[in-house]
Amino acid sequence: MSGKFYKFLIISGALILAALFIIFLFFYNPSHNLEVYFLDVGQGDAMLIKSPFGQNILIDGGPDRSVIRKLTATLPSWDRQIDLMILTHPHDDHVTGLVEVLKRLEVKKIIYTGAVHAGPNYLAWLKEIKAKNIPLLVTDGPQDIILGQGLCLKIIYPLKSFINQETENLNNASIAVKIIYGKTNFLFAADLEKEAEEELIKSSIDLRSNVLKVGHHGSDTGSTEKFLKAVRPEIAVIEVGKNNKFNLPSRRVIKRLERIGAKIYQTDKHGDIKIISNGKKIYGY
């Protein structure tokens, strides 16, 4: 190969790379919005958060593989990486779909409580994590995760460590998350029941939020009037399956939400629910 031809190849390659970079800049239009998807996965929880800084965060995965279909329909083909997976607690309606996510998508980091549970789907999830050597972090109390300027993911519950502990009620060992973007707040209450809600009310944590993912699929075991008044949501989202055997959501919870003036959305009625924040206000639905 002559020196001139070699030089020609180098210059041509550099020009092609420069052209591709210009095309990328032209077409790449990063959103400055926070996008929160409450995915309709039947009787279970699955929420996808797309941050304005490019992170994809998945909270729970629902009771079956349908979460994969939802994720591939929501995430662009060039960005199907989950930067952070959060398992709130190891019940099947939260963990089962995450097993398939681990098999099909690249997951960079995982947070869980470390609570002891012998459910086969939970054990399969742990096995898959170990096989792929994914960093598995345990939350042992409230902590802040800064995702970018003006964007913070706050783990507000549990207030203590549950690692390697057997708990009588796994719902009250759930991870509750608050996402703050600018002046807007989203609270994901997992499956917390009234005892855990009371703990949060007594703590110094600010619960006020524009959007509330209602705890435990709208069960009357939680969402007490006192808790809802502390949160004061404009929007309440209930992740629940059609004609579920538990007859959820509870009419009592619906009435409580109505009394505080919250606009209510349910995945069994409305399907996937998308809420957007620009840091100043929320919109979408």
pLDDT tens across 199-236, in order? 999 998 999 999 999 999 999 999 999 999 999 999 99
How many other CB atoms are there within 10 angstroms of residue 25's CB atom? 9
CA atoms of 41 and 130, how far apart (whole Å):
26
Q: How confident is the model at residue 106 (pLDDT cuts 50, 70, 90)?
A: very high
Read off the pLDDT of each residue in 248-256 and give the average, rounded to a whole number. 98
The strand pair at 110-112 and 84-86 is best described as parallel
Q: How confident is the model at residue 285 (pLDDT cuts 50, 70, 90)?
A: confident
What does CATH list as the number for 31-284? 3.60.15.10
What is the model's pLDDT at position 49? 98
For the record, the structure tokens of 126 come out as 């742990």
173 pLDDT exceeds 70?
A: yes
50 pLDDT exceeds 70?
A: yes
What is the model's pLDDT at position 4? 57
- In this structure, what is the dihedral angle of CA atoms 195, 227, 267, 275, given to the nearest 10 degrees? -130
pLDDT, tens only, 232-251: 999 999 999 999 999 999 99
